[in-house]
């Protein structure tokens, strides 16, 4: 056992005790302010969360958010690619075309499925 291992084990134990301790202490010492608005569950804009946890509700917002994420990441990938395009040459270009075609297939799929129609 090296010193570093002992140190990291102590650090781990320390975290394991300190974090729960802090949570308990804030619960005991902290001020308690009630109120309807505070006690209501916040569910990303959906008001009045009622019923069981497995009930169905509209997924439109989530779908749009996820789709935005996918195509946003596509754009993010293109910046470093554009900077390095000269060094990558034709190989990099073809790689990017393949990547874009894969995403295009995904776009065709979601268009056909009507995900972008806001009903």
Q: Which residues bind another protein (CB under 8 A)?
A: 1-2, 4-5, 8, 54, 91, 102, 105-106, 108-109, 111-113
Sequence-ordered list of residues with C-beta below 8 angstroms from that of 45, at least 6 positions apart, any chain: 61
Q: Which is nearer to another protein, 49 or 113 (CB)?
A: 113
Instruction: Count the alpha carbons within 13 Å of 78 in the hemisphere toward its beta carbon.
Output: 11
Minimum CB separation from another protein for residue 1, in Å? 8
Smallest separation, CB 98 to another protein (Å): 11
Nearest Cα residue to 100 out of 81, 118, 87, 84: 81
Shorter beta-carbon distance to another protein: residue 64 or 108 = 108
CB of 38 to another protein, least distance (A): 28
Q: Residue ranges of the alpha helices (H) in the chain?
A: 3-29, 36-39, 60-83, 85-113
Nearer to another protein (CB atom), residue 32 or residue 119: 119
Give the pair of three-digit tokens for residue 63. Answer: 């779908």
């Amino acid at each position: 056992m090296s010193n570093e291992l002992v140190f990291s084990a102590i650090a781990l134990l320390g975290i394991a005790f300190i974090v729960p301790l802090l949570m308990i202490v804030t619960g005991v010492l902290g001020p308690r302010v009630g109120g309807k608005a505070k006690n209501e569950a916040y569910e990303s804009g959906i008001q009045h969360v009622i019923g069981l946890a497995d009930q169905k509700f509209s997924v439109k917002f989530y779908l749009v958010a996820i789709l935005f994420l996918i195509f946003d990441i596509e754009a993010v990938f293109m910046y470093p690619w554009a900077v390095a395009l000269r060094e990558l040459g034709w190989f990099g270009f073809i790689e990017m075309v393949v990547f874009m075609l894969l995403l295009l297939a995904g776009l065709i799929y979601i268009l056909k499925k009507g995900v972008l129609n806001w009903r």
